[in-house]
Amino acid sequence: MNLDFLAIAPTVAITVAVVLLLMVDVTFKVGPRWWGIVATLGLVGATTASVWQWVEYRGPDGELFFSDMLAVDGFSSFAGMLIFPIAGLGLMAGWQLVKGVGRRGAEFVALSLIAASGAHLMAASANLIMLFIALEVFSISLYVLAGFTRKGEGADEAALKYFLLGALASAVFLYGIALVFAATGTTSMYGAKAFLDSTLILRPGILLAGIALLLVGLGFKVSAAPFHVWAPDVYQGAPGGVTGFLAAGAKIAGFAAMARVLVIPLGSYIDDWAPAIAVMSAASVIIGTLFAIAQTDLKRMLAYSSVAHAGFIMTALVAGPAGIGDMWFYVATYAFQVVGAFAIAAVVSGALTGRSPLSDYAGLSDRSPLLAAAMGLFMLSMAGIPLTSGFIGKAAVFRAAINADYLWLVILGLVAAVGGLFFYLRLIVVMYMQPAPDGAAHPQLHFGTRFAVGVTAVVTIVVGFVPWPLLDWVKDAVPL
Q: Judged by CB, which is closer to other proteins: 65, or 423?
A: 423
Q: For residues 270 and 318, give the distance between their C-alpha atoms in angstroms, rounded to a whole number.
A: 8
Contact window for other proteins (CB under 8 A) among 19-27, 111-119, 263-271, 397-405: 397-405
Q: Judged by CB, which is closer to other proteins: 440, or 471?
A: 471
Answer whether 315's CB lies under 8 Å from 401's CB: yes
Answer whether 119's CB lies under 8 Å from 138's CB: yes
- Tell me which residues in 412-471 interact with other proteins (CB under 8 A): 414-415, 417-418, 421-422, 425, 429, 432-433, 467-468, 471
> Please, what sign has the CA dihedral across residues 252, 257, 260, 263?
negative
Q: Is 399 an interacting residue with respect to other proteins (CB under 8 A)?
A: yes
Q: For residues 247 and 236, give the distance between their C-alpha atoms in angstroms, rounded to a whole number.
A: 11
Q: What are phi and psi of 264, to 5 degrees?
A: -80, -75
> Which helix (H) or strand (E) is 349 found in, with range?
none
> Please, what sign has the CA dihedral across residues 98, 101, 102, 106?
negative
Contact window for other proteins (CB under 8 A) among 112-120, 123-131, 393-401, 455-463: 393-401
Answer whether 99's CB lies under 8 Å from 105's CB: yes
Query: Over 166-182, what HEC string results?
Result: HHHHHHHHHHHHHHHHH
Q: For residues 352 and 312, give the distance between their C-alpha atoms in angstroms, rounded to a whole number.
A: 31
Least spacing, CB of residue 384 vs other proteins, in Å: 9
Q: Judged by CB, which is closer to other proteins: 171, or 407?
A: 407
Q: Is 402 an interacting residue with respect to other proteins (CB under 8 A)?
A: yes
Q: Is 40 an interacting residue with respect to other proteins (CB under 8 A)?
A: no
Q: Is 194 an interacting residue with respect to other proteins (CB under 8 A)?
A: no
Distance (Å) of CA 182 to CA 128, 222, 276: 13, 26, 22
Least spacing, CB of residue 428 vs other proteins, in Å: 8
Q: Is 162 an interacting residue with respect to other proteins (CB under 8 A)?
A: no
Q: Judged by CB, which is closer to other proteins: 450, or 475?
A: 475
Task: Provide Rg for the chain, Cα atoms.
Answer: 21
Least spacing, CB of residue 383 vs other proteins, in Å: 8
Q: Judged by CB, which is closer to other proteins: 32, or 321?
A: 321
Q: Is 293 an interacting residue with respect to other proteins (CB under 8 A)?
A: no
Given the rule CB under 8 A, which residues bind other proteins? 380, 385-387, 391, 395, 398-399, 402-403, 407, 410-411, 414-415, 417-418, 421-422, 425, 429, 432-433, 467-468, 471-472, 475
